[in-house]
Amino acid sequence: MAAFLRVFVGAVSAAAVALAFAGYLGTFVQGPTVPVAVGLVVLATLVNFWGIDVSAKLNLLFTVAEVAGLAIVIWFGRTTWGTVAVFEAPFGVPGVVEGAFLAFFAYLGFGSIVNVAEETENPTRTVPRAILLAIGITTVFYILVALSAVGVVDWQVLGDSASPLSLVARAAGGDAAAALVGAIALTSTANTVLILLVSTSRLVYGVSKSEYRSFPTIFARVHTDRRTPYLAIALTGGITIPFALLRDLGQVAGLANGGLLVVFVLINGALLKLRFDAPDTRGGFTAPLTVGRLSITALAGLCSSLGLLVFYVSSFV
């Protein structure tokens, strides 16, 4: 169930980010949103098939561009931080919770690092460090970008924009700055789609192996020339495209969040149970903050995930 949901979340997330890419592309060239999003998914699937080496190099190049774009936005808005009403909540506590649920989408990718463990040197040590460092560094950027964005542009105007970072750059630095940030946002969203497709296809490949059999073993086949799990890659790209057809970025992001929250409930619940059933069994990484056999980290993750999941489900009632 966890494997199925993670594949679902990966596909839906890739579709949502592809729609965001189409939104930023619209600031340069007017065109239909859905075909652009689908085209990006197809192109990223082809790059994924070509090999992990190419994907990793593109990821590194695009990540440098992403950080540069965020730094520009932060720089433009740095003088407005003192004017931002940090504790203002126009929609009260429900609005804060809804904001947290939507922002949760920005944290979907960190767990995907695990899915390329077989293609990582010393994964037991490297992968946990990579996840913790990535979350810490990225959260600082998120906060600074948020402060700059609402300091430069009214929050209601931001919420109605298909390319909010370009809007912030235009308001603070003119059309040239908006074009630069918009171009960087295109590389950022394209990079994210590629990462999601790579990690999700590797997950499909992993759980399709004969020792797991969560998925049909045919998806564990590796291409003789490219040495990539081509059928898992094709499946991931194929199930991503229909979600891009939904067109509504908020709706697609909500589906991804809901699915991942269920996964987080399962995983944190499993960790709580394992700490009691097999307290002496340890892998390469041990979750911190344990009192006796109770993992405080897992309990906090379970409760917060359940809370956001209840909020999401209640929004349809």
Q: Quick: pLDDT tens for 225-257.
A: 888 899 999 999 999 999 988 878 778 888 888
Q: Would the pTM count as exceeding 0.75?
A: yes
pLDDT at 284 over 70: no
What's 2-248's CATH class? mainly alpha
State yes or no: pLDDT of 125 exceeds 90: no
247-278 burial, b at 16+ Cβ within 10 Å, e below that, comes to: eebeebbbbbbbbbbbbbbebbbebbeebeee
Structure tokens at 78: 């740095």
Structure tokens at 260: 């991942």
Q: Give residue 218's identity as a one-letter amino acid code.
A: I
265 contact partners, CB below 8 Å, separation of at least 6: 302, 305, 306, 309
pLDDT tens readout for residues 203-216 = 899 888 877 778 88
pLDDT reported for residue 115? 66
The pLDDT value given to residue 294: 87
Taking residues 272-282, report their average pLDDT. 81
Q: What is the mean pLDDT of the chain?
A: 86
What would the pLDDT profile of 88-124 be if each residue is shown by its tens digit? 888 888 888 888 888 887 787 787 777 677 777 788 7
